[in-house]
A = this chain, B = another copy of it.
Amino acid sequence: MQILYELEKVDVTGVRLFAPASIANISCGFDVLGLCLENIGDIMEIRRSNTAGIQITSIKGQDLPLEAEKNVAGVAGLALLAEYNPQLGFEIYIEKNIKPGSGIGSSAASAAGAVAGINYLLGSPFSTKELIPFAMEGERLACGSAHADNVAPALLGGFTLVRDTNPLDICALPTPLELVATVIHPKIEVKTADARAVLKTRVSLEKAISQWANVGALVSSLYEEDYELLSKSLVDGIVEPARSILIPYFNELKDACKKAGALGSGISGSGPSVFALSRGMTTANHVAQAMQAVLEKTEIPFDIHVSPVKQSGVSFLEDIT
């Protein structure tokens, strides 16, 4: 596939792309650290249209609104067009493989895919970082606040750190190549309102100091490819103890991950998915078996995924001519 970065791809009708799932709220990095997943994501096709604005032509796999203003991909795409050229039009088809509400960035994937695809077809007038605010508008529709902790890794890939949201300031962090995520999605509903309600507005200074020490160490471990330090710093003494009560068998899952050799584990986003990070695919698969064994003893249905951390964000699969 030829990539034209400066010229609009006038000879190309559309693009087929992979919009990756992501894990936000990585342990000590609540609200700031996220990572991109390689093996889990939506397939999207974005095509030029003669009708101004965004049309969601169809969505496969999930029952989601087709009206652009009510769809995260639509809203994100419209935000980009409002900035670039509101006269232009695009059609979006989505094959939704990430379940909404699972806690692995379903809305972020659709929003990121929409803006990355449209930008691609326009000849990349925006840098990938510049796309983040547009995708955040999709998040605002999905969860009421324009947060960046899933759209940043979905667009940039690897690990990302949201230093500030006003003004937006995102750091792309290096990602050790052997890092593999295991994610189990217990099919229960954790309402975002509940996930927020269990958080206290004030926390102990002592625990906060420990948390920022661990965030600093975690960032260092990514640069150093120091898996031992990464493991030690994948802890969360503030949010996880409060939120984990909403996730059945959370402690059992965490114990199972540890015994199976994971570097660490925690709540993915605001749950209910639980993630673990491991060094290498073999361990990540053992961790998957161990997590699976916990939920198989219960009545709770679940999905399970094993995926390396994706080093880049949205992938363009093929041009549509």
Q: Is the CB of A216 within 8 A of B163?
A: yes
Taking CB atoms and an 8 Å cut-off, the chain A residues in 215-252 that contact chain B are: 215-220, 223, 229, 232-233, 238
State A215–B29 Cα separation when bound (angstroms).
10
**A10 at interface by CB-CB < 8 Å:** no
* Residues of chain B lying within 8 A (CB to CB) of residue A193: none
* Residues of chain B lying within 8 A (CB to CB) of residue A229: 163, 171
State A123–B85 Cα separation when bound (angstroms).
71
Q: Is the CB of B171 within 8 A of A32?
A: no
**A297 at interface by CB-CB < 8 Å:** no
State A29–B209 Cα separation when bound (angstroms).
8
State A210–B30 Cα separation when bound (angstroms).
10
One digit per residue, 1 when the CB lies within 8 angstroms of any chain B CB and 0 when it does not, for chain A 190-210 equals: 000000000111111110111
Closest-CB distance, A26 to chain B (whole angstroms): 11
* Residues of chain B lying within 8 A (CB to CB) of residue A209: 30-32
Closest-CB distance, A98 to chain B (whole angstroms): 25
**A142 at interface by CB-CB < 8 Å:** no
One digit per residue, 1 when the CB lies within 8 angstroms of any chain B CB and 0 when it does not, for chain A 164-188 equals: 1000010101000000000000000
Q: Is the CB of B199 within 8 A of A205?
A: yes
Closest-CB distance, A216 to chain B (whole angstroms): 5
Closest-CB distance, A271 to chain B (whole angstroms): 17
State A202–B163 Cα separation when bound (angstroms).
22
**A295 at interface by CB-CB < 8 Å:** no
State A29–B216 Cα separation when bound (angstroms).
9
* Residues of chain B lying within 8 A (CB to CB) of residue A73: none
* Residues of chain B lying within 8 A (CB to CB) of residue A214: 163
State A31–B173 Cα separation when bound (angstroms).
24
Contact of A202 among B29, B204, B218 (CB under 8 A): B204
Q: Is the CB of B201 within 8 A of A161?
A: no
* Residues of chain B lying within 8 A (CB to CB) of residue A161: 213, 216-217, 220
Q: Is the CB of B213 within 8 A of A203?
A: no
Q: Is the CB of B238 within 8 A of A205?
A: yes
A-B contact list, 18 entries, CB within 8 Å = A28-B212, A29-B212, A32-B216, A33-B216, A161-B217, A163-B213, A163-B229, A173-B220, A200-B205, A201-B205, A202-B205, A203-B205, A208-B208, A212-B215, A213-B215, A215-B215, A216-B216, A216-B218
